[in-house]
């Protein structure tokens, strides 16, 4: 049997990646034509630092793996931390 949750019950839930990393908390759902399109997530302090200081992200609903006591999202929904251009060029020079 499928359990249906109200959006108001989901707001504030903790969000983890499928790798087990804490990502943040649900702030709200984005609706389009009465269907959930994405979730606005307030990111945890450590994650925000490598997102360029962003306080939140919108994760498309297709990346949500599970909704229960916690939210589980796909690791591919999390932006990848890029190396600053100085470090990337230094690595290239070392390998050459």
Strands 71-73 and 22-32: unpaired
What is the residue-level pLDDT of the chain in tens, covering all 96 positions? 667 778 888 899 999 989 888 889 999 999 999 889 999 999 887 666 666 667 888 899 999 999 889 999 998 877 665 544 444 444 444 444
CB 32, CB 16: distance < 8 Å? no
Matching CATH number, 7-95, of 2.30.30.240, 3.40.605.10, 3.40.50.720, 2.40.10.10? 2.30.30.240
Supply angle C-alpha 9, 10, 11, rounded to 5: 100
State residue 76's pLDDT score: 83
Tokens representing 87 are: 């470090």
State residue 64's pLDDT score: 93
- Domain boundary assignment for the chain: 7-95
Distance between CA atoms of residues 64 and 62, nearest Å: 6
């Amino acid at each position: 049997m499928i359990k249906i949750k109200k959006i108001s019950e989901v707001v504030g839930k903790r969000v983890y990646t499928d790798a087990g990393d804490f990502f943040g908390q649900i702030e709200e759902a984005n609706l389009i034509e009465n269907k959930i399109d994405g979730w606005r997530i307030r990111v945890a302090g450590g994650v925000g630092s490598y997102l360029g200081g962003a306080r939140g992200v919108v994760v498309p609903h297709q990346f949500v793996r599970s909704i229960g006591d916690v939210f589980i999202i796909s690791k591919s929904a999390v932006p990848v931390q890029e190396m600053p251009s100085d470090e990337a060029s230094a690595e290239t020079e070392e390998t050459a």
